[in-house]
């Protein structure tokens, strides 16, 4: 699919860093390459999925990341769902609402994000996350 998934973390409306070790644990077994600016995941039929680390990317963490050209491999959405388990973490794609995995996350999102993207949806599983982002499970 030719689109992106954006993932950010906030604490009381302000950007909060993902810890590099947390991302490594969530994507364990899927990472083919990594450096301070990106992760390359090996998924699907030997398809590479690129994750670029956003502002503040470093060996200790990043404020956000983008999944470019996500594939239909359930392991990708399971890894993303694991990332979303931490309060304040949100995912969204072009045309989708903001998606969280915990009710607590809703209170941490910036108000202008919710105003721009719509009502936040709480996903209860990896397949519900994929459905909320792209309208299919």
Mean pLDDT of the chain: 88
The pTM for the full model equals: 0.90
* Count of residues making up the chain: 137
Give the pairing of strands 89-92 and 4-11.
antiparallel
The residue ranges of every structural domain in the chain are 4-134
pLDDT value, residue 57: 47
pLDDT value, residue 63: 83
Give 112's contacts (C-beta < 8 A, 6+ positions apart): none
Q: What is the CATH number of domain 4-134?
A: 3.30.310
pLDDT tens track for 103-127:
999 999 998 998 899 999 999 999 9
Over residues 43-72, the mean pLDDT reads 77
More reliable by pLDDT, 59 or 78: 78
Q: Which parts of 1-137 are beta strand (E)?
A: 4-11, 14-15, 18-19, 31-34, 38-43, 47-53, 61-62, 64-68, 89-92, 99-100, 121-122
| pLDDT confidence band for 19 (50 / 70 / 90) | confident
- Longest Cα–Cα distance in the chain: 40
Give 31's contacts (C-beta < 8 A, 6+ positions apart): 24, 39, 40, 41, 42
């Amino acid at each position: 699919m030719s689109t992106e998934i954006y993932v950010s973390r906030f604490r009381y409306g302000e950007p909060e860093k993902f810890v590099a070790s947390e991302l490594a644990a969530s994507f364990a077994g899927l990472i083919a390459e990594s450096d301070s600016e990106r992760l390359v995941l090996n998924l699907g039929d030997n398809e590479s999925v690129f994750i670029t680390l956003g502002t503040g990317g470093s060996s200790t963490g990043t404020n956000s990341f983008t999944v470019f050209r996500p594939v239909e491999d359930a392991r990708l959405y399971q890894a993303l769902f694991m990332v979303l388990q931490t309060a304040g973490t949100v995912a969204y794609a072009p045309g989708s609402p903001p998606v969280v995995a915990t009710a607590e996350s809703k209170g941490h999102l910036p108000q202008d994000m919710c105003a721009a993207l719509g009502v936040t949806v709480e996903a209860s599983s990896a397949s519900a996350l994929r459905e909320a982002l792209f309208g299919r499970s």
